[in-house]
A = this chain, B = another copy of it.
Amino acid sequence: MKLKDFAAQIGLSPTTVSRALSGYPEVSDKTRKRVEAEAARLGYHPDVNAVRLATGRAGAIGVAMTRAGDYQFSEFINGMAERLSGGELDILLIPMGEHETVDELQVFRRLAQSRRVDAVVIHSPVPDDPRIALLDRLKIPFIVHGRSLTTVPHAWLDIDNEAVTRRATDHLLDLGHRRICLINGPDNYTFARDRDHGYRTALQARRIAYDETLVHHGTFSDETGFRFASTALSKQARPTAFVAGSMMTALGIYRAARSLGLAVGSDISVVAHDDVFPYLTAETMTPALSTTRSSIRAAGREIADLLLQMLDGRKPSDIAELWPVDLILRDSSRPAPKEPTP
């Protein structure tokens, strides 16, 4: 049923019906109530495509889905959905190929030009992210989940990645560890650089030399953790502690330790960053994993909220949220072994 028919059936003009259903103030309360009741009874629903054409709004926000997202993605989206549910905004997935190809930018260009979305969220920026410059130029509202160093003013929300590794490293140093490995994300991303920085800062504060052989960059997979930890732990002067960028790499480190007959929590210590997942929890690992923690689901919720504010007129350049992280001490981080291994 279309507006015209529906309006005719209840003896009102399309204009009035449209206004009543869209909550315009000038329609009388009595009329509005009646229209709403009749719409429910007769099952009238506006055609979104017509609404979109008439209003110029797309009614959707696009989420760029980089390969890097992987297992965090679902939690983030669920967070956004919590905030968006019931509203008139859909979530449109924008699958991307490999990062930073020309193709990737084309995707955004087409997206903007075809007016498919009202706003966009992008993840895992690199320090000088071309997507940011492009979206700014295209004048399509966007928010960055993560940070970039671009000079283009833009909205962003990020966790304090520098603190993630600084606090974890500090904690391990407090426990007497001196050879501490860092298994970070791919080093082109800003977040990975921030984490490198936090790690270095903690070491410097104690006048401990930075040793590049203790640091690794790679994707967040158990394999990355296993490979690097295995190699590192087989060395002559083996590390006594690890800072892991993700739960998956932490799994790999645990595994490497076990396969070498080393006990996590005594022979070696581990602290990982945890985005909080329902299917893999730090506190039930054996031993319970010490983590820096920040809910990626909550980030999704907040980003959706900020996006709503932006569409409501809030200035993007006013939006910059840096979320602190919790440091949760459990059993995987313990005092360094008294005797440095020979």
Q: Which residues of A contact B (CB under 8 A)?
A: 43, 45-50, 52-53, 58, 60, 63, 65, 67, 69-71, 73-75, 77-78, 81-82, 84-85, 90-93, 95, 97, 110, 113-116, 219-223, 226, 248, 251-252, 255, 258-259, 277-281, 284-286
Contacts and interface: CB of A to CB of B under 8 A. Distances in A.
B93 A81 contact: yes
Contacts of A252: 284
Contact of A58 (B49, B53, B63, B277): B49
Given A91-B92, A91-B95, A113 B43 contact: yes
Contacts of A114: 45-48
B221 A279 contact: yes
A255 B277 CA distance: 18
B221 A281 contact: yes
Contacts of A46: 114
Contacts of A92: 60, 90-93
B48 A115 contact: yes
B258 A226 contact: no
Given A70-B74, A222-B281, 11 more contacts: A46-B114, A65-B74, A65-B77, A65-B81, A70-B278, A71-B71, A85-B95, A90-B92, A93-B93, A222-B280, A258-B258
A4 to B, nearest CB: 15
Contact of A116 (B48, B75, B95, B220): B48
Contacts of A251: 251, 280
Nearest to A74: B73
A223 B284 contact: yes
Contacts of A60: 92
Top 5 A-B pairs, shortest CB-CB distance: A81-B95, A45-B113, A49-B52, A91-B93, A221-B279
Contacts of A97: 85
Contacts of A93: 63, 77, 81, 90-93
Contacts of A91: 92-93, 95
B74 A278 contact: no
A241 B281 CA distance: 24
B70 A220 contact: no
A186 B43 CA distance: 35
Contacts of A221: 278-281
A265 B247 CA distance: 25
Contact of A67 (B49, B65, B78, B285): B78
B73 A279 contact: no
